[in-house]
Structure formats: C-alpha cells, structure tokens
Amino acid sequence: MGIKFDMRFCFFLLVFLVAGSACVERPWHHSAGEYVVVQPSAGQSLDTVASDFGGGPAGLPAIEALNPPALTPANTPLLVPATPAYELGIRAGGYQVVPVLTYRWVDGADFEALEARLRADLLQLQSLGHSLLSPDEFLGFIRMERSVSSGAVLLAFEVHHAEGFRAFWERSSDLGLTGLLFIEPSTVGTEGALTWEEVARLSGDGMEPALLPPGGQGLTAPASKETLVGYTLRVKETITTSHGLLAGNVPGPVRFAAYPDGVGNSVMASVMVSLGMKGIFISGEEGNPFFCDNLSVVRMDAGGRGAEVPLDRYLDTFREAALSW
C-alpha cells in the first residue's frame, strides 16, 4: 500500500514538474511552497544543481527530498526550494534584480567627465560591497540557471567614439573590468571608431562584444506606405547583415544585442532570436529580475545621468513584492 502510494506520488510529481517547466515567467507556485523549476543540462546531477542553484551541500537534502535521485530521469525539470537553502533569486518577500550600468562614448560627449564619473562609480560600487558580473554569470542569472552574489551588477559600454574610450581603457587595465561592449559593426574600422583588432583584444580582456544594429534607418516601425512584408524583409536584411559582420570578426559567439532605438518589437525580436541572441536589451531604469524576459533585458544609461543623480538610485538589487500568484 505504502509503495503504491509513493510511486503514485512520484509519478504526479514528475508530471507536475514537466508541466511547470513550460511556465518560464512564473516558475513557482505558493501551494507547493517557495521554489523554482530548474532545467538541468545534459549530464548534470543533483549535486551540481545544488552547487549552482540550491544553496550548495546544505541545500542538497531538500532537493533530493523533492527529486528522489532513483526516480528522477535525466534532463527532467527539477524543483529547487527557494527558501531556506536558496538565499538569492526568489524569496517570500520579493526577488533579486541585477542592474546593467551602461556608459556611452558618443560624439560630442565630455570624455574626461564621463571617465571621472565612471571611476567614481566603480569606487562607490566597491565601497558598498557590490560585485561585477561577467556576461556568462549574468546570462545564467536571467535564465534562472544560477544564483549570483547579493548586490551584483553588470557593466556595459557603448562605443561610438573610440578616442575617448581608448584613453579610458589604457588607464584602466588594472581594474579587471568585465562586461558587455555594444558596438555598431558597420562603423568599426571607420574614422574615429574602434578597429576589429581592438574589438578582438577587448574581447580577450573580458569585454564581450554585443550587437548594436545600425540606427537611424527606421527599424523600429514600417516607413510611410511600407507594407508589413516589406518592413519585415528590410529588418531581417539589416540585422542579419550587421550580425554577420560582427560574428565574422570576433572570437566567440554573439549572444547579446540591443534594439537600435532602445525599444523593440516582435519583428526585430524574431530576427535576433533566429540569429542566436540569448538576451536583447531595451532602454530603461529598472534592474533585471531573476526570471527576466530575455527579449526585454533592461540597460540603464548610468553615464548620462545628471550630475546631481547619485549612483545609489540605480543600485536596488532586491524588489519587494507579494508573490501571491
């Protein structure tokens, strides 16, 4: 009797896990307690899931209780308790967020003031105990594949004017910076822009190149009297060409992109996703939550804020919310 009951319980648990994994935006449910659904990669064990996602060895017993190793097929979505073993991500009072602080080198900017602001921001981040994420860590976070430290932020640089950026980078080799490097591929190698050799070198120094399709061509919406089919073909050709140029000149895969005008639509999103983009950025002032929509990742123009605006405004890393659904 007890064995039959246990087998029925495990069967319904596995069915529930498979069904729950399809709900990417809301992968938890109050009736089952605070938890998240994790899709393990091929060959991943409960031990590695606990190490990467569930609080380490202390959280392993709770994961094993929800996912009996002998009855959990390989690659089955797993339930991982959010509390108490899991300290970050989703908690009873809200969820963790990660700000993406963006600094833009554009024509007409005061590069000395921008560099001074960035250096001051880096010192403040350090003094407040914030940590810089690598692109890999950030991607794992928004895809709900790993936790990150409390107070984690991601840096991003958008470079249209190479001279000011070169000066900053040469003086910053000792800072160990990592983050995203947004560039418009069609401008690389032109007067005043980075060269492909510099882009490759920056990639090796921890700056992952990210796609910024050419702006000023009306990719956000169809032109006057342009059909939807014509607009779709134009967007596809423009973004595909831009992506091909970048992908052909950098050592690693292109995983991140930004919408040209900071606001996307389904046409641009579908093209970028088909090209392998794992995160597509919009413009805004909100941090990215643990269960981020990968088609609407937010980056903040931290370098362009007014002199009276403190960095603290951008550093909220936990969003209080009543998780009542």
Per-residue pLDDT of the chain (325 residues; tens, 9 = 90+): 444 434 443 433 343 333 333 333 333 333 345 667 777 777 777 888 777 766 667 667 777 777 777 777 777 788 777 654 445 676 667 788 999 999 999 888 888 999 999 999 999 999 999 999 999 999 988 887 777 888 999 999 999 989 889 989 988 878 889 999 999 999 999 999 999 999 999 999 999 999 999 876 688 889 899 999 999 999 999 999 999 999 999 999 999 999 988 888 999 999 999 999 999 999 999 899 887 889 999 999 999 888 788 999 889 888 887 654 3
CB atoms inside a 10 Å sphere around CB 113 = 11
Q: What is the pTM of this model?
A: 0.74
Q: For residues 208 and 170, give the distance between their C-alpha atoms in angstroms, rounded to a whole number.
A: 17
Give Cα 124 distance to the centre of its chain: 23
Beta-bridged to residue 35, according to DSSP, are 81
Would you state the pLDDT for residue 85? 44
Helix axes 196-204, 162-170, angle to 10 degrees: 30
Would you state the pLDDT for residue 20? 36
Would you state the pLDDT for residue 90? 67
Would you state the pLDDT for residue 24? 35
Would you state the pLDDT for residue 118? 93
**Residue whose pair of structure tokens reads 């370098």 in the numeric block:** 303
